[in-house]
Amino acid sequence: MGRKKGTAKSTWASFLKSIASFNGDLASMTAPPFILSKTSLVEYSAYWTEHPELFVAPAKEQDPEKRALAVLKWFLSTLKQQYSSRSEKLGSEKKPLNPFLGELFLGHWEHETAGTTELVSEQVSHHPPVTAYSIFNKKHGVKLQGYNGQKASFASMTITVKQVGLATLHIDAFDEDYLITLPALHIEGLVYGTPYVELERSTIIQSSSGYLAKIEYAGKGWLSGKKNCFTATLQKTGSKEILYTVSGQWIDTFTIKKGKTEVDSFSHKDHPTTPLNISLLENQDPLESRRAWAKVAAAIDEGDYEKTGLEKSKIENAQRELRKKEKEDGSPWEQRYFTSKERNDTVDKLLEVAAKHMVASGVSAVTLDDPSKTNGLWVFDEQKYEDVKSGKRDEVLKAAVKSVEE
Ligand SMILES: CCC(=O)OC[C@H](C)CC[C@H]1O[C@H]2C[C@H]3[C@@H]4CC=C5C[C@@H](O)CC[C@]5(C)[C@H]4CC[C@]3(C)[C@H]2[C@@H]1C
């Protein structure tokens, strides 16, 4: 794009000055055009399963300890795509498009051994922005669902992001659940104009079968001056005995040890990701992300930032009109695939076991998000999903789409 180095430097410098007056709402930041990504945040749910073979591996483990280890290995394999794939593909972290309420991202992965893995991702809240997702592989009976939002702050030239939300994995064959908490992150490299994500503090995976994994994240100058490092341990509920330790870089290679013996390792260069299949734009529902943002994406590709702004404000104004109308009619927007609940006994039970286990096994507490304090828990509604598929909700959906398209 026709951007002279000089202008970029000055726009980036004025951008950094603007962040200093940051109010915590990432979406409201007007980032300079070259940092804008044409990808909407609603697409980020796909990063959980770009290695479907690892996602379904736990369902094949008869031994509960090895199953818990397989879940930890899958989780660790998702971090590179989640937090570093833009830097890798685009040269730096980018600012995603801020999804509108009801925005959808639907797709599926086809893998020779894992079979079909389906993705449903929906922007269930706009103020504050919350994305909910359900990813399931029927052949192996593995289901992941979760939701996330972000609380951001800015200090000493660094944007720090605390993630709000959580994920739960269910393995049908063993009727087993895993609670997964989300890492905090900060954006490094802002001053140099090449921002990238560094994860921080720690997260846990607590299984209903009584295994607790804890992952501690660290950046440069911690392990060996390398960035994006972590160490992880797997323990049995209440026991101080460490069953496995995992360490390395989540953007590259990590090894799994039982005591001093290396029993497994994972390296991204040996594990290419499986591409996600999504429908052609003309076959997509008007609320599907890439169809809805097509004009904005084209303007960003052309480097025509004026047109980008114009097309973006068209979508944003239509949304504001819609909210106003819903308020007048007293008919608030209805989420298509997800329902908000105050409590969910699976999550409550796992949060309780995790908290007890961390005390009993001397694991220093991590921030266990109590869902009720984070504007409710968003759960995938299988009935809503089947009704949409069977066409039972066509009338409702047509009305919703019509209101957006007007
Ligand atoms: C807003 C100021 C601005 O544009 O600064 C420019 C810089 C690109 C830094 C801010 C943006 O950095 C992006 C990184 C995004 C997170 C990356 C991965 C995930 C994991 C996923 O499962 C959930 C979403 C999450 C947490 C992304 C949230 C949004 C982040 C922080 C983008 C920032 C706007």
Q: Which residues, at least 6 apart from 275, have a Cβ–Cβ distance to it below 8 Å?
A: 109
Ligand 1 atom nearest the C-alpha of 182 is: 22
Which helix (DSSP H) or strand (DSSP E) does residue 230 occupy? strand 229-236
- The string of DSSP codes covering 277-302 is B---GGGS-TTBHHHHTHHHHHHHHH
From 18, 79, 185, 201, the mutation candidate for ligand 1 (largest count of ligand atoms within 8 A of CB) is 185
- Contact (Cβ atoms closer than 8 angstroms) between residue 57 and residue 73: yes
- Contact (Cβ atoms closer than 8 angstroms) between residue 44 and residue 131: yes
Tell me the per-residue pLDDT of 65-77, one tens digit each, with 9 for 90 and over.
Answer: 999 999 999 999 9
Alpha-carbon distance of 53 to 75, in angstroms, equals 12
The one-letter code for the residue type at 277 is N
For residue 203, the CA-to-ligand 1 centroid distance in Å is 19
Query: Which 3 state secondary structure label does DSSP give 91?
Result: coil
pLDDT, average across residues 162-172: 94
ipTM of the complex: 0.97
Lowest mean pLDDT, pick from 3-17, 64-78, 168-182, 387-401: 3-17
Q: What are phi and psi of 31, to 5 degrees?
A: -80, 155
Q: What are phi and psi of 333, to 5 degrees?
A: -55, 135
Residue 303 is encoded by which pair of tokens?
A: 């480097």
Closest CA to 359 of 235, 261, 262: 235
Ligand 1 atom nearest the C-alpha of 187 is: 9
Q: What is the CA radius of gyration of the chain?
A: 21
Residue nearest atom 16 of ligand 1, based on CA coordinates? 83
Tell me the per-residue pLDDT of 14-30, one tens digit each, with 9 for 90 and over.
Answer: 888 887 777 777 777 77
Whole-structure pTM value? 0.94
